[in-house]
Amino acid sequence: MYGTLPTPAGAVPRLAAGLTMVDRLGHWQMRWGFGRMRYRVRPGLYAVGEPQAASPVLVTANYKMTVDLLRRELAATNAWLLVLDTRGVNVWCAAGKGTFGTAEIIRQVTACRLAELVGHRTLVLPQLGAPGVAAHEVLKGCGFRVIYGPVRAADLPAFLAAGMQATPAMRRVTFTLGERLVLTPVELTAMWKSLGWGSLLLLLIGGIGPRFFTVEAALQRGPAAIAAGLAGVLAGAVVVPVLLPWLPGRMFAVKGAVAGLAVALAGTTLYGARLGGIDSAALLLALPAVAAWCAMNFTGATTFTSPSGVEREMRRTLPVQAAALLAAGTLWIAGAFLP
Amino acid sequence: MSGLRYLDNVVTLQLDAAKCTGCGMCATVCPHAVLALEDRRARIVRRDACIECGACARNCPVAALSVKAGVGCASAIIHGWLTGSEPSCDCQGSC
Ligand code: SF4
Ligand code: SF4
């Protein structure tokens, strides 16, 4: 990558310390969902700084964002970096799928002839890789002992300096405001397609009226409904993540419904006179339902929800969401036929 | 993390204390401090904080732990319901 380091097991490419403007631009693009598929690093062994036989071996995924993060945090460290082939997926997701896993570690350790390079027999893995890796099987498979390092790359230098000891805080996953905020662009961009189709549908339904279907009605009633839908999406996908700890309820759907209802109440207060009774009622039903759905979809990106819990929440709240949407749609269409 | 809590009495985590050798691996890998070592045996101390990631079960050398590990994305679960298969997460990057 940026020069090589000659070793007994062949030349090992060296990673540059620190990030460039190009790296930062790439990260920004990734967060907004452009070209997410191609952001990967070639798997294999890399040198960080001037590693020697006694230097630690850190194992990671070949998602470029992850490797860049390590490069930044390890700017003052000498280490070997063993990059697994996770098909460009980050450690946590790849561990869930098993691509960041026991077999791939054994394969890379053997392929890179790691045993000839280092004097010790220890691999440092990110703790979040543990769902995919059985430490005792790695030892059996290639003779290297697995030590789970901290959850966050930023804690690596301190962890290494302490003789590979993690403090309890280093082992705990957090979900701070900043961590929640970086996720919202991805949540929103993932919805672009459904937003487009939803808007089209609302335009079509908006045109329905006493004269069967008119373009004037579609252009008059449609945009207002689209605006309401967008408000629901923003309430569920932005307001809920940001205000997560302070919104009432444990279920995400409940938090979303509360946020949506607050936005809908603000809407009817401001525009109630222009909307009229029936459309206001439709708004009060539809907006919380849309927000609840979007908020529920955020569970996949959080760090403290269990799949069993998400499934329970879906079984309990999806029927309510669907009923509210249906009632809102019926009211809205019926409103077109009333004087 | 203390402020954020999800639903109670729902997770599938099981510990067979009779098998446990007290190696402590499960407590090390758990990202939510669900497990702790007491009297050289593992114990579930914060059951409702478990996110069913499966790290503890995967790393227990004597298979004393079991959990139905899976994906927590709503869309993946719906897909699982519709196709009758296990939910799988195919999002790239951040899941
Ligand atoms: S499944 Fe994950 S969160 Fe639950 S106890 Fe095991 S390691 Fe902890
Ligand atoms: S990993 Fe297994 S054997 Fe080791 S402490 Fe946990 S339950 Fe006991």
The Cα A214–Cα A203 span in angstroms is 11
Q: Of A133, A174, A134, whose CA–CA distance to A154 is shortest?
A: A174
Q: How far is B92 from chain A (nearest CA, A)?
A: 6
Closest-CA residue in chain B for A306? Answer: B51
Provide CB contacts within 8 A for B78, sequence distance 6+: A314
What's the confidence (pLDDT) of residue B1?
41
pLDDT per residue over A190-200, tens digit each?
788 888 899 99
Strand partners, B88: none
**Average pLDDT of chain A, as a whole number:** 90
- Establish if B65 belongs to a structural domain: yes
Task: Spell out which residues of chain A touch residue B12, defining contact as CB-CB under 8 Å.
Answer: 308
Q: Strand A12-15 vs strand A44-48: parallel, antiparallel, or unpaired?
A: parallel
Q: Do B31 and A127 touch (CB under 8 A)?
A: yes
How many other C-beta atoms lie within 10 A of the C-beta of residue B65?
24
- Establish if B36 belongs to a structural domain: yes
Give the alpha-carbon dihedral of A103, A107, A110, A114, to 10 degrees: -80
CATH of the domain at B26: 3.30.70.20
| Mean pLDDT in residue range A115-126 | 96
The yes-or-no verdict on residue A158 having pLDDT over 90 is yes
What's the confidence (pLDDT) of residue A1?
55
- Establish if B87 belongs to a structural domain: no
Give the alpha-carbon dihedral of A143, A148, A153, A157, to 10 degrees: -80
What's the confidence (pLDDT) of residue A146?
97
Q: Do B94 and A131 touch (CB under 8 A)?
A: no
CB-CB contact of A200 with A307 (8 Å): no
What's the confidence (pLDDT) of residue A34?
61
| Mean pLDDT in residue range A76-85 | 94
Sketch the domain layout of chain A as residue ranges: 4-173, 178-335
Provide CB contacts within 8 A for A30, sequence distance 6+: A36, A39, A65, B93
The yes-or-no verdict on residue A4 having pLDDT over 90 is no
- Establish if B23 belongs to a structural domain: yes
Task: Spell out which residues of chain A touch residue B53, defining contact as CB-CB under 8 Å.
Answer: 96, 130-131
The Cα A268–Cα A266 span in angstroms is 6
The Cα A215–Cα A203 span in angstroms is 9
What radius of gyration do chain B's Cα atoms show? 15
Q: What is the ipTM of this complex?
A: 0.85
Q: Mutual orientation of helices A307-337 and B74-83 as an angle, nearest 10°?
A: 90
pLDDT per residue over A21-67, tens digit each?
777 777 776 666 665 556 788 999 999 999 999 999 999 999 988 99
Q: How many domains does chain B have?
A: 1
Range of the domain at B34: 14-70
What's the confidence (pLDDT) of residue A128?
95
Task: Note which residues in 50-69 of chain B have CB less than 8 A from chain A.
Answer: 50-55, 58-59, 61, 68-69
| Mean pLDDT in residue range A149-165 | 95
CB-CB contact of B46 with B31 (8 Å): no
Closest-CA residue in chain B for A167? Answer: B28
* CATH number, span A4-173: 3.40.50.11600
**Helix and strand numbers, DSSP H then E, in chain B:** 3, 4
Q: Which two tokens stand for residue A62?
A: 């070949």
What's the confidence (pLDDT) of residue A300?
81
Provide CB contacts within 8 A for A218, sequence distance 6+: A203, A204, A206, A207
What's the confidence (pLDDT) of residue A38?
60
Task: Note which residues in 90-129 of chain A have CB less than 8 A from chain B.
Answer: 90, 92-93, 95-97, 127-128
The Cα A234–Cα A286 span in angstroms is 13
Residue B29 CA: nearest ligand 1 atom is 7
The set of protein residues with a Cβ atom below 6 angstroms from ligand 2 is B 20-26, 42, 60, 62, 64-65
pLDDT category of residue A265 using cuts at 50, 70 and 90: very high
Q: Mutual orientation of helices A252-297 and A215-234 as an angle, nearest 10°?
A: 110
pLDDT per residue over B40-86, tens digit each?
999 999 999 999 999 999 999 999 999 998 776 777 777 777 777 66
